[in-house]
């Protein structure tokens, strides 16, 4: 009896493709994901929001670009910013910015 490959789940394949793209860059805007995948932007947004709810991706409040979650993927070796700090600080900075209506930054002193 010939072996048959089970059918694949196209939506999952698309999600994996997006995750792979996010893994190759420090940040990826929606337009770049659209150009790389050929997927419609509404489809990409649904995939990205699903990945975000699943804890696998996040959208930066700094530049609006999409990234893999730092606790799920190793940080890029060229970055001197600890991605875990970004993950922890981002929601608090966003809340602060909403309450004071002014851009806010976080400064980390490194004693060298």
Tokens found for residue 20: 């792979």
Give me the residue spans of the domains in the chain: 10-100
pLDDT tens for the chain, residues 1 to 112: 556 778 889 999 999 999 999 988 888 999 999 999 999 999 999 999 999 998 899 898 888 899 988 766 554 555 567 778 878 888 888 888 888 887 777 877 776 5
> How far, in Å, CA of 103 to CA of 97, rounded?
6
19-52 as b/e: b if 16+ CB within 10 A: bebbeebbbbeeeebeebeebeeeebbebbeebe
Separation of first and last alpha carbons in the chain: 68
- The answer to whether residues 87 and 68 touch, using CB atoms and an 8 Å cutoff, is no
Q: What is the CATH number of domain 10-100?
A: 1.10.10.10
Global model pTM greater than 0.85 = no
Tokens encoding 63: 């530049």
């Amino acid at each position: 009896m010939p072996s048959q490959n089970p059918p694949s789940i196209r939506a999952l394949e698309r999600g994996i493709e997006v995750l792979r793209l996010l893994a190759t860059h420090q940040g990826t805007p929606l337009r770049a994901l659209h150009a790389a995948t050929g997927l419609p932007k509404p489809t990409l947004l649904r995939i990205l929001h699903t990945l975000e709810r699943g804890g696998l991706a996040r959208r930066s409040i700094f530049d609006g670009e999409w990234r893999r979650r730092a606790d799920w993927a190793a940080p890029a070796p060229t970055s001197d910013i600890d991605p875990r700090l970004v993950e922890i600080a981002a929601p608090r900075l966003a809340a602060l910015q909403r309450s004071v209506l002014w851009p806010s930054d976080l400064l980390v002193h490194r004693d060298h």
